[in-house]
Structure 1
Amino acid sequence: MHRPPTGQQNYGPQFENQQNHQMQQPYFQYSQCTGKKKGLCIGINYTGQKGELKGCINDARNIQRFLCENYGYRKEDIVMLTDDAQNSRQIPTRENIIQAMQWLVRGAQPNDSLFFHYSGHGGSTKDLDGDEADGYDEVIYPVDYDNAGHLVDDIMHDLMVKPLPAGCRLTAIFDSCHSGSALDLPYIYSTEGKVKEPNLAAEAGQGVLSAVSSYARGDMSGVFKSAVGLFKTASGNTQKAQEVARQTKTSPADVISWSGCKDSQTSADAYEAGQATGAMSYAFMTALGRSKEQTYQELLVEIRTILKEKYSQKPQLSSSHPMDTSIMFIC
């Protein structure tokens, strides 16, 4: 096991820059996570609304405490948005979430470490720009989604990934339904540490099966439309979508996302260690609580192992660049 290498990491074929006619090659840079640390934790229980959840606010507070106790974050450098907040600016409305995302990445520098955590409802909507292999964008639901609408993964990518310089880390956790590619990162990894290629037929079947999970969080549409999962297999050209995603969503920054499940699955609103909690948030903290020194591959396997005992959801690891999953996870 080793820490991330320093300096520019080149990958892929060389190409000619049309402006200066010089040969270039795609690159990224790992963060050493030695710079400033900032966090944004969002927990939405939707109290009093249809589809109310129990553990999301607990998740946000638990992650905040976990980061401060284990990774050197300071409480005053972590913005909290929860629907029980007294301050109106800390209520997780669509507008407040957008402003907090902008704050998180503002002034980002190489070797900084930024952390984003979302626990709440997730869903999907028709993809309009051709970068989704299954034909659907992933979304999250602010507390005021009834009036203000949801937040699409393309927008979250534009807000939190595009502004980051090479060598800046953003670690994101989405503990929500249909969150596999919720940050639109084009490289998704298997437990063998290899880049996964989409298998849409299998995904569709998983989508139907996951609907019957007794722990499943409610879909925002109220009723899980099993036909949607099957329809995904017929929509969009898989190879073309993957190509579009890698051309438009790859970044020289060091962005990692851990999601609670595949795009076709739901994430459990669970009860663990004596309190309501999101299953993914609980598994992430439990895995790293057992050992801080784990590779990305080991951590993915450990998180899945913890969840496998009770839940059908399969957490996903994705990144903004091709990565070596045998290096040590740091944040």
Structure 2
Amino acid sequence: MSGYGYGYGQPNSQYGWGGAPPPRPPPPNTDQYGYQQFPPPQQQYNDGYRGHGQSYGPPPPPTTQQQFGHGAPEGYTFQYSNCTGRRKALLIGINYFGQSGELRGCINDVKNLSAYITENCGYRWEDMVVLTEEQQSERGQPTRENILRAMQWLVRDAQPNDALFFHYSGHGGSTKDLDGDEQDGNDEVIYPVDFQKAGHIVDDEIHHIMVKPLQPGVRLTAIFDSCHSGSALDLPYLYSTQGVLKEPNLAKEAGAGLLNAFSAYSQGDMGGIAKGIFGFAKKAMKGDAAHEKTKETKTSPADVIMLSGCKDNQTSADATIANQATGALSHALVSALKENPKQSYVQLLNSIRDILESKYSQKPQLSCSHPLDTNLLFIM
């Protein structure tokens, strides 16, 4: 782990990080949750996307308020973040040591992503919380309680143009949707290290903690390298590799319904015809209603972006790349940004997919809390 030590940077007894560099005193001014409250950095981070008064590459985000459009609630506006304010990061990696379904690359993902954002994106170790099960401190363990508390810390007191970064690498899954906002009828979940006793964390709760409190102009970049993670943050606006907003695919559903009806007809099953057609209609109406509810209840004036490892009905690979265990998405994201840090959102989505498509079937997804101009420069 050269460059930042085994404990993700300088050791910090407060979080239970340990490592090779010499220890330093624990930071002062901790809040009621035991996490430090940091003042804004003395110097604003210059992301290098502009030089000598000339802009190049994809354009930076606009600084004025934007209209929602695209069927979002009327009268609302949102604001992009230019990511020049305070930066905070939360990274969670869980290998589930000794448990069924043990993973190998999740802790490495956290090490790689934390190194990248500190070296290239202006994040500081002292403004970062890392939860991994290899830590000695109980506070550093990725338990359900610690994860929820750290999520609250991440978004607390966020101001316009702040940049928040969230990364989760571990198991993901699904459970029955109880409030009617999921097109497929299932909520997405993540699994803390103690999920067998404490339970999973549902996407509705994650959204409520990390997205709902954010003001216009606050940026949250969320990376979910886990299975069934396509809508793990419940963001309403999903984009294709062409940068086009996706809507519920009723045509595809219609084709499936009609195919079932045709099959029933060819077998003389009149009841099957009706079942196929009415089944499609019911499913299509339910999916459309869920999509509309998500837009009405989960649209946000903040600038929240999520990249997921796969679609809701797919799995994300725990892979070995260059002789290191790693999550396929986490590795592809860092590789794509190192190769070209000045990409638009749609270019980055395509770069990640290009890296993965030769070996993996998973399709990373890009979603947002507001209608997104995918040709803007990706910053975090």
Q: Pick the TM interval, shorter chain.
A: 0.7 to 0.9
Q: Give, in angstroms, the shift of residue 12 of structure 1.
A: 2.7
Give matches, 1:69-84, under 5 Å.
69-84=119-134
Match status 1:304 vs 2:353: yes
With normalisation by structure 2, the TM-score equals 0.75
Partner SS for 1:237:
helix
Partner SS for 1:76:
helix
1:60-103 superposed Cα distances (whole Å, 9 cap, x missing partner): 11110000011010011110000111110010000000000000
**1:172/1:200 CA distance change after superposition, 3 Å:** farther
Match of 1:316 in 2: 365
Partner SS for 1:258:
strand
**Contact kept? 2:250, 2:284, Cα under 8 Å:** no
**Contact kept? 1:293, 1:328, Cα under 8 Å:** yes
Q: Give, in angstroms, the shift of residue 257 of structure 1.
A: 0.2
1:150-187 superposed Cα distances (whole Å, 9 cap, x missing partner): 00000000000001100000000000000000000000
Give matches, 1:158-307, under 5 Å.
158-199=208-249, 234=283, 237-307=286-356
Partner SS for 2:88:
strand
1:244-268 superposed Cα distances (whole Å, 9 cap, x missing partner): 0000000000000000000000000
Match of 1:216 in 2: none
1:170-207 superposed Cα distances (whole Å, 9 cap, x missing partner): 0000000000000000000000101112338969xxxx
Larger radius of gyration, structure 1 or 2?
2
**Contact kept? 1:142, 1:150, Cα under 8 Å:** yes
Match of 2:184 in 1: 134
**Contact kept? 1:135, 1:236, Cα under 8 Å:** no
**Contact kept? 1:134, 1:236, Cα under 8 Å:** no
Q: Give, in angstroms, the shift of residue 13 of structure 1.
A: 8.6
In 2, Cα distance between equivalents of 1:57 and 1:199 = 36
Partner SS for 1:7:
coil
In 2, Cα distance between equivalents of 1:187 and 1:97 = 26
Runs (5+) with no aligned partner, structure 1: 17-23, 204-230
- 1:238 aligned partner, one-letter code: G
Q: Which of residues 151, 154, 168 is equivalent to 1:104?
A: 154
Match of 1:144 in 2: 194
**Contact kept? 1:254, 1:321, Cα under 8 Å:** yes
In 1, Cα distance between equivalents of 2:66 and 2:82 = 14
In 1, Cα distance between equivalents of 2:252 and 2:99 = 33
Match of 1:223 in 2: none
Q: Which of residues 62, 68, 84 is equivalent to 1:11?
A: 68
Partner SS for 1:302:
helix
In 2, Cα distance between equivalents of 1:92 and 1:41 = 10
**Contact kept? 1:280, 1:315, Cα under 8 Å:** yes
Match status 1:45 vs 2:92: no
| RMSD, matched Cα | 2.1
Q: Which of residues 70, 85, 95 is equivalent to 2:135?
A: 85
Looking at both structures, which has the greater relative contact order when contacts are Cα pairs under 8 Å and sequence separation is at least 6? 1
- 1:4 aligned partner, one-letter code: P
What is the total number of aligned residue pairs between the two structures? 297
Match of 2:374 in 1: 325
Match of 1:56 in 2: 106
In 2, Cα distance between equivalents of 1:303 and 1:272 = 15
**1:295/1:35 CA distance change after superposition, 3 Å:** same
- 2:90 aligned partner, one-letter code: L
Q: Give, in angstroms, the shift of residue 15 of structure 1.
A: 11
- 1:276 aligned partner, one-letter code: A
Runs (5+) with no aligned partner, structure 2: 1-57, 254-279
In 2, Cα distance between equivalents of 1:202 and 1:105 = 38
Match of 1:210 in 2: none
In 2, Cα distance between equivalents of 1:73 and 1:236 = 45
Q: Give, in angstroms, the shift of residue 148 of structure 1.
A: 0.3
**Contact kept? 1:135, 1:235, Cα under 8 Å:** no
In 2, Cα distance between equivalents of 1:235 and 1:104 = 37
In 2, Cα distance between equivalents of 1:68 and 1:190 = 29
Between 1:234-243 and 1:190-199, the stretch displaced more is 234-243
**Contact kept? 1:37, 1:113, Cα under 8 Å:** yes
Partner SS for 2:310:
coil
In 1, Cα distance between equivalents of 2:350 and 2:294 = 26
Match status 1:115 vs 2:178: no
- 1:316 aligned partner, one-letter code: Q
Q: Give, in angstroms, the shift of residue 11 of structure 1.
A: 2.6
